[in-house]
Amino acid sequence: MQNKIISVTNLKKNYGNFEAVKGISFDVYEGEIFGLLGPNGAGKSTTLEIIETLRDKTSGEVIVDGLNLDTEPGSIKKIIGVQLQTSGFYPGLNLLELIELFAGLYNRSVDAMELLRLVNLADKAKNKYKEMSGGQKQRFSIATTLINQPKIVFLDEPTTGLDPQARRNLWDLIRDIRSKGTTVIITTHYMDEAEQLCDRIAIMDEGRIIALASPDKMIDDLVAGGFERPKQVKAANLEDVFINLTGKEMREA
Ligand code: ADP
Ligand code: MG
């Protein structure tokens, strides 16, 4: 898993006089789930959008699958999957029609039903986007990132606002996508999610990466430094209670 699929070196982004990204460097390995964590305003979305070719950088080097962002942004676009703004989904079309529409835009032929099956929405194929629940909308939007059979998928806070079941369904989906060989880069504010899902995480703060390792290593390092939790941790938490009471299975009507 040591093949670098993304290499970012000394990346900087200024908005006017404001330095949003202050010279960050990191690599993402092929086939991993890489998490970008950090408080609001840390520079996560800016960083992702630069790699996605959607935003100009101020300086630094970005290589994606051997392609230099400065010279081959068009080729990068072809091998990545980016979640589209949901406002771009035509409200009058059903899910099947939307996938076919996007496939046409990408100039790709896809088995739209197969894609909907992957994201567990086959039974909603004839429903309109606006009729979906929050979790279903997120799964559908992830399906649209897979239309061009990308090598890398970028997910910016895909689980924000979802209920615990929908969040878990999305974790399964993300693991599925990775198991097919696709590299996943995800941002999240949920630490339990990052811990469960990500092979490695970078923690950003005020435009800098302040830590980069596997979740396990970060926790071990903290404990080795003498950190102790202030109180005895119970064998379960409130989320366990919630999931136990309401069930793990899909609950989105
Ligand atoms: P994150 O995704 O980590 O919350 P962002 O990358 O969205 O952070 O934003 C990083 C910083 O850059 C924030 O302070 C934000 O206000 C600022 N910023 C983001 N986009 C713009 C923009 N288009 N113009 C000016 N400032 C921006
Ligand atoms: Mg953001």
pLDDT tier at 180 (50, 70, 90 boundaries)?
very high
User: How far, in Å, is the centroid of ligand 1 from the Cα of 20?
Assistant: 6
Predicted pLDDT of residue 112: 93
The one-character DSSP state at 7 is E
User: How far, in Å, is the centroid of ligand 2 from the Cα of 245?
Assistant: 33
Predicted pLDDT of residue 98: 92
Going by their DSSP bridges, the two strands 59-64 and 4-15 should be labelled as antiparallel
Region 222-234 average pLDDT: 84
Ligand 1: lining residues by beta carbon, under 6 Å: 15, 20, 38, 40-46
How confident is the model over 65-74, as pLDDT tens digits? 999 999 999 9
- Is the pLDDT confidence value at 11 over 80? yes
The one-character DSSP state at 192 is H
CA dist., res. 192 & res. 196, Å (int)? 6
- Is the pLDDT confidence value at 36 over 60? yes
Copy the structure tokens of residue 35.
Answer: 């998490």
Q: Which DSSP helix (H) or strand (E) runs through 4?
A: strand 4-15
Predicted pLDDT of residue 250: 60
Predicted pLDDT of residue 253: 44
- Is the pLDDT confidence value at 138 over 60? yes
| Torsion of Cα atoms, 193 then 197 then 201 then 206, to 10° | -30
- Is the pLDDT confidence value at 53 over 50? yes
Name the closest-CA residue to atom 27, ligand 1. Answer: 15
User: How far, in Å, is the centroid of ligand 1 from the Cα of 42?
Assistant: 8
User: How far, in Å, is the centroid of ligand 1 from the Cα of 37?
Assistant: 14
| pTM of this structure | 0.91
Phi-psi region of 206 (alpha: psi -120 to 50; beta: other; left: phi over 0): left
Q: What is the mean pLDDT of the chain?
A: 91
Predicted pLDDT of residue 210: 96
CA dist., res. 41 & res. 150, Å (int)? 28
Q: Are 21 and 12 in contact (CB under 8 A)?
A: yes
Copy the structure tokens of residue 115.
Answer: 């894609």
| Torsion of Cα atoms, 112 then 113 then 117 then 119, to 10° | 30
Q: 3-state DSSP call for residue 146?
A: coil
Residue 58, phi then psi, degrees to nearest 5: -85, -45
Q: Higher confidence at residue 7 or residue 134?
A: 7
How confident is the model over 54-99, as pLDDT tens digits? 999 999 999 999 999 999 999 999 999 998 666 667 778 899 999 9
* Atom number, ligand 1, closest to the C-alpha of residue 36: 3
User: How far, in Å, is the centroid of ligand 2 from the Cα of 205?
Assistant: 12
User: Which ligand places an atom closest to the C-alpha of 205?
Assistant: 1
Q: Are 44 and 204 in contact (CB under 8 A)?
A: yes
* Atom number, ligand 1, closest to the C-alpha of residue 187: 2
Region 157-162 average pLDDT: 89
* Atom number, ligand 1, closest to the C-alpha of residue 207: 10
